[in-house]
Amino acid sequence: MMYSQQEYDMVRRQTMQIEAEKRALLRWTLIVMTILFACSLVLSALMYQRYSVADGKIEAANTRATNAENKLSEVSADLAQKNAILEKNSASQAQQNEIIQTTVPKMISRTASETELAQLAHAIYNQPGHVISLPSIPPNEVLRSYRHRVDGKPYKYTIVPGLIDNKWVIYSVLVKNQDDK
């Protein structure tokens, strides 16, 4: 069998058309793959940027946490120290209040000893305003200076009376301590 030139031309055109379609398909595939590759590069860059920013944030958070823990330990130590001071002061305040409550009736009845009056003068001085109220007028014999030692340090107090809003009070004034020469 013999083929004519037209049939050869037709087969050649069909082959060229098929090849052109293959090239077009490959071109479109290449374009799509290039676009996908570019998108993957951009996406990878964004992910790396987020990763590095997150790593920086983690380091900053760890630094802040370490600083907060250090500050917490400092503040806890300060708080423990302040609580110890408060407990010491409250114990001292309770002792002074006890001295005031037991010695004031003795002072009013004029049966308090010299030592008790010196302790009373010291306890009154440590009260807010260096003053306490009395149920009645203080006796004249107790209104003078007293010497008292605290932790081996000598102090001299003077008890002074006062009448405020028709209520008798006594003040304790520190006249001299060991630092005064």
Q: Would you tell me how many other CB atoms lie within 10 Å of the CB of residue 112?
A: 21
The H or E element spanning position 177 is strand 167-177
Asked if residue 122 is part of any domain, the answer here is yes
CB within 8 Å of 104: residues ≥ 6 apart: 120, 132, 134, 135
Mean pLDDT in residue range 82-108: 88
Q: Is residue 142, in this structure, part of any structural domain at all? A: yes
Task: Kindly report, residue by residue over 167-176, the tens digit of the pLDDT.
Answer: 999 999 888 7
Confidence of residue 179 (pLDDT cuts 50, 70, 90): low
Mean pLDDT calculated for residue range 110-117: 87
CB 143, CB 169: distance < 8 Å: no
pLDDT at 139: 86
HSE-up of 166 (CA within 13 Å, CB side)? 0
Kindly give the pairing relationship between strand 153-164 and strand 145-150: antiparallel
Residue 149 CA to residue 75 CA, distance in Å, equals 36
Q: Is residue 62 part of a domain?
A: no
pTM recorded for the entire structure: 0.55
Residue 141 structural domain:
97-177
Residue 149 lies in a domain: yes
Tell me, yes or no, whether 116 lies in a domain. yes
Residue 178 has pLDDT above 80, yes or no: no
- Does some domain include residue 1? no
Give residue 5's pLDDT band: very low, low, confident or very high (50, 70, 90).
confident
* Residue appearing with tokens 């379609």: 21
Q: What percent of the chain has pLDDT over 70?
A: 97
- State how many domains the chain has: 1
Distance CA 113, CA 110 (A): 9
In whole angstroms, give the CA distance from residue 159 to residue 119.
12
- For residue 119, the tally of other CB atoms under 10 A from its CB is 21
Asked if residue 54 belongs to a domain, the reply is no
Cα R_g (the chain), whole angstroms: 49
Mean pLDDT of 138-157: 86
pLDDT, averaged across the chain:
89
Query: Using CA of residue 92, residue 96, residue 101, residue 103, what is the dihedral sign?
Result: positive
| pLDDT tens by residue, 54-88 | 888 888 999 999 999 999 999 999 999 999 999 98
| Residue 110 included in any domain | yes
CA 141 to chain centre: 53
